């Protein structure tokens, strides 16, 4: 998604938009910046006798923990899967350089593929990451990588670097009255931090592979998982019309996936040739069989271009060509390579009419025009247009069940044809009936055994995915197009 589109969407209602969903590799750094980039202490105010104490590591970790859980749709409760993962974590801890350390593992209820570590010793993985891993050694490699971030004190080092960079910038601009371009100084600071963060990732990979091997796992598991991660990211970007998912951003906080894979293989070779160590494929597949996959039905389901929210009792269909992404704060859609977008969120309903809501101006600096009342079955609604310098909008407000739903469609060029498809989408918004609600079961990871003569194409045909089921099956199972299924071996599919 283009930076300009990110900016305009960020200015829409309910600005707590979690771009981590569309940039998973940057999510942790964005959150760490928000909670751990503490300003260097300045002179205490004259009216305050005792300065406010700097937050402790425990304080910062608790803030970060709450942010993570909120941004990633909550933490899943104890289960046979989490108990299985706890046993892997204990095995890794015993093999680490700090066997007396205490770690805690949490599973986040998010389809995004990501993992996090907090200085307090808490490690989080998403259920999306669990679905992508293909054996016990791969998930062990992920855990060991996150443990390495903790033991190497990477969060504290990054926070200190950011404080130093901020202090340097203040001295340059305020004390020395530097007349240089502040944007150049900001870019240099970001690049320094990005390089530092990439170095941390390489260091965590190296430490994690060593711990994984010591614990008796396959040291090549890290490179296999990173390969799957790169393929999954590229597939996700392609499905969303975002182009090359593997393109390197010089400001990115993580090294490019190919670089990490190459380095991980070099590290693994120190422990022997491929084939050493335990993989634990069957045990892992048994542990994740039935794991929820994709959107949580309680938070709304994306079915191709249709969004269905049984709990709130509504559904609507996005315009042709849109890829939808359900987030905790809003539903986001993108089309035409980022030239068109949509957002759906809601606010607590008041006595204000949908027309009056539109009149308040949802987008900063953009005037709303042509407000018209609208009836969507038995629902009261209104629609309007708005035009800015670069983007034009079709807006709609719908009242349902004590909430006001806000639909925002954006386009670089709101031609009559584009506006017509936006309005058709608005007209599809409706209250769910009992039959529709009954059909909103979520998808799950299902483990199936390949039968003699079965091919990747025939097994992928059972996948409950809206498009490119073969590509998704291959990516989920770490297979390439030349791979042949082995009769009797188990594979992952997505089904209800």
Helix, strand, or coil (residue 60): helix
Cβ pair 398, 345 in contact under 8 A: no
Q: What is the pLDDT of residue 55?
A: 55
Q: Backbone phi, then psi, for 342, in 5-degree steps?
A: -145, 160
Stretch 271-289: mean pLDDT, rounded? 96
The pLDDT, as a whole number, for residue 155 is 53
Give the residue with greater pLDDT, 385 vs 251.
Answer: 385
Higher pLDDT residue, 21 or 37?
A: 21
What does the pLDDT look like over 64-119, one tens digit per residue? Answer: 888 888 888 899 999 999 999 999 999 999 999 999 999 999 999 999 899 888 88
Residue 383 has pLDDT above 80, yes or no: yes
Cα–Cα distance, 210 to 267 (Å, whole number): 8
Instruction: Write the CB contacts of 433 (distance below 8 Å, at least 6 apart in sequence).
Output: none
240 confidence band (pLDDT: 50, 70, 90): low
Structure tokens at 412: 């670089």
CB atoms near residue 23 (< 10 Å): 16
As a whole number, mean pLDDT of residues 55-67 equals 73
Lowest mean pLDDT among 3-7, 403-407, 432-436, 476-480: 3-7
- Percent helix, strand and coil across the chain, each rounded to 5? 45, 20, 35
Residue 75's pLDDT is: 94
Closest CA to 137 of 204, 80, 207, 219: 219
Given this model, what pLDDT does residue 367 score?
81
- Hey, which residues does 344 pair with through a beta bridge? 331, 407
Of the listed ranges 147-161, 193-207, 482-496, the one predicted with least confidence: 147-161
pLDDT by residue (tens digit) across 150-182? 887 555 545 544 444 444 444 444 444 444 554
Tell me whether strands 379-387 and 292-293 are parallel, antiparallel or unpaired: unpaired
Task: Look up residue 442 and give its DSSP letter.
Answer: P
418 or 304: whose pLDDT is higher?
A: 418
Domain edges within the chain = 37-293, 297-433, 443-495
| Main-chain phi, psi angles of 5, to 5 degrees | -70, -35
Rounded Cα distance between 134 and 67, Å, is 29
| pLDDT level of residue 58 (50, 70, 90 thresholds) | low
Tens of pLDDT, residues 435-486: 888 878 889 999 999 999 999 999 999 998 877 899 999 999 999 887 789 9
Residue 189: band (very low, low, confident or very high) from pLDDT cuts 50, 70, 90: very low
Contacts of 197 (CB under 8 A, 6+ apart): 29, 158, 253, 254
> Whose CA is closest to 233, among 321, 300, 225?
225
pLDDT recorded at residue 156:
54
CATH 2.170.130.10 fits 297-433, yes or no: no
The CA distance from 77 to 431, in Å, is 32
Q: Which helix (H) or strand (E) holds 285?
A: helix 281-288
Residue with the larger pLDDT of the pair 355 and 41: 355
Burial class (CB in 10 A: 0-12, 13-18, 19+), 140: buried
In SS3 terms, 80-95 reads as: HHHHHHHHHHHHHHHH
List the one residue out of 227, 225, 205, 213 whose CA is nearest residue 277: 213
Sequence-distant (6+) residues with CB within 8 A of 202 are: 255, 260, 263
Mean pLDDT across the chain, nearest whole number? 79
Rounded mean pLDDT, 265-271: 96
Give the span between the Cα atoms of 296 and 282, in whole angstroms.
Answer: 26
How far is it, in rounded angstroms, from Cα 109 to Cα 68?
11
Residues contacting 363, CB < 8 A, separation 6+: 11, 12, 386, 388, 393, 408
Phi, psi of 288 (to 5 degrees): -100, 0
Give the pLDDT score at 237: 78
pLDDT at 17 over 60: no
Q: What is the H or E stretch that residue 333 is in?
A: strand 331-335
Q: Regarding the domain with residue range 443-495, which homologous superfamily does it belong to in the CATH classification?
A: LysM domain (3.10.350.10)
Using CA of residue 269, residue 271, residue 276, residue 281, what is the dihedral sign?
negative
How confident is the model over 258-274, as a mean pLDDT?
94
Contact 179, 59 (CB under 8 A): no
Residue 303, classified by CB atoms within 10 Å of its CB into exposed (0-12), middle (13-18) or buried (19+), is: middle
CA distance 124 to 103: 11
Cα–Cα dist 491/486, whole Å: 10
Q: What ranges in 50-153 are assigned the alpha helix state H? A: 57-71, 80-95, 127-132, 136-151
| pTM metric for this prediction | 0.72
Backbone angles phi, psi at 54, to 5 degrees: -65, 140
Give residue 276's pLDDT band: very low, low, confident or very high (50, 70, 90): very high
Q: In the prediction, which pLDDT does 439 show?
A: 77
pLDDT band of residue 337 (cuts 50, 70, 90) is confident
Distance CA 422, CA 319 (A): 6
Cα 49–53–57 angle (5° rounding)? 180
Q: What confidence tier does 59 reach under pLDDT thresholds 50, 70, 90?
A: low
* Rg of the chain, C-alpha, whole Å: 25
Rounded distance between C-alpha atoms, residue 324 and residue 342, angstroms = 9
177, HSE (Cβ side, Cα atoms, 13 Å): 0
- What's the CA dihedral at 445, 449, 450, 452 to 10 degrees? -160
């Amino acid at each position: 998604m283009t930076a300009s589109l990110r900016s305009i969407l960020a200015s829409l209602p309910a600005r707590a938009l979690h771009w981590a969903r569309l940039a998973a590799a940057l999510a942790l750094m964005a959150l760490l910046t928000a909670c751990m980039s503490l300003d260097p202490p300045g002179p205490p105010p004259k009216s305050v006798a005792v300065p406010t104490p700097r937050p402790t590591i425990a304080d910062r970790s608790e803030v970060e923990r709450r942010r993570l859980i909120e941004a990633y749709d909550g933490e899943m409760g104890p289960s046979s899967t989490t108990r299985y993962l706890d046993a892997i974590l204990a095995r890794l801890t015993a093999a680490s350089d700090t066997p007396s350390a205490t770690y805690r593992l949490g599973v986040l209820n998010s389809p995004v593929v990501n993992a996090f570590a907090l200085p307090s010793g808490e490690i989080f993985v998403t259920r999306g990451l669990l679905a992508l891993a293909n054996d016990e050694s791969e998930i062990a490699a992920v855990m060991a990588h996150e443990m390495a971030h903790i033991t190497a004190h990477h969060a504290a080092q990054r926070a200190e670097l950011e404080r130093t960079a901020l202090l340097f910038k203040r001295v340059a601009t305020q004390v020395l009255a530097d007349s240089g371009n502040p944007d150049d100084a900001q870019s240099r600071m970001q690049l320094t931090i990005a390089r530092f963060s990439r170095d941390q990732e390489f260091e965590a990979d190296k430490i994690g592979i060593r711990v994984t091997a010591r614990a008796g796992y396959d040291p090549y598991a890290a490179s296999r998982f990173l390969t799957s991660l790169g393929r999954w990211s590229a597939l996700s970007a392609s499905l969303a019309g975002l182009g090359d998912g593997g393109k390197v951003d010089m400001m990115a906080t993580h090294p490019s996936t190919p670089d990490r894979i190459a380095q991980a293989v070099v590290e693994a070779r120190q422990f022997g040739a491929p084939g050493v160590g335990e993989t634990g494929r069957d045990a892992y597949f048994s542990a994740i069989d039935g794991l929820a996959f994709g959107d949580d039905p309680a938070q709304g389901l994306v079915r191709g271009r249709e969004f269905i929210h049984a709990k709130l009792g509504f559904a609507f269909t996005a315009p042709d060509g849109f890829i939808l992404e359900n987030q905790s704060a809003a539903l986001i859609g993108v089309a035409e390579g980022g030239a068109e977008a949509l957002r759906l969120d809601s606010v607590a309903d008041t006595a204000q009419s949908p027309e009056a809501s539109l009149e308040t101006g949802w987008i900063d600096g953009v005037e709303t025009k042509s407000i018209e009342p609208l009836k969507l079955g038995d629902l009261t609604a209104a629609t309007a247009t708005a035009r800015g310098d670069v983007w034009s909008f079709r807006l709609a407000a719908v009242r349902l069940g004590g909430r006001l739903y806000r639909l925002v469609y954006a386009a670089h060029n709101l031609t009559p044809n584009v506006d017509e498809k936006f309005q058709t989408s608005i007209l599809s918004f409706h209250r769910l009936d009992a039959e529709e609600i009954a059909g909103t079961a979520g998808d799950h990871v299902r483990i199936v055994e390949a039968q003699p003569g079965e091919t990747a194409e025939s097994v992928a045909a059972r996948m409950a995915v809206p498009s490119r089921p073969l590509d998704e099956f291959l990516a989920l199972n770490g297979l390439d197009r030349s791979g042949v299924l082995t009769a009797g071996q188990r594979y992952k599919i997505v089904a209800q």
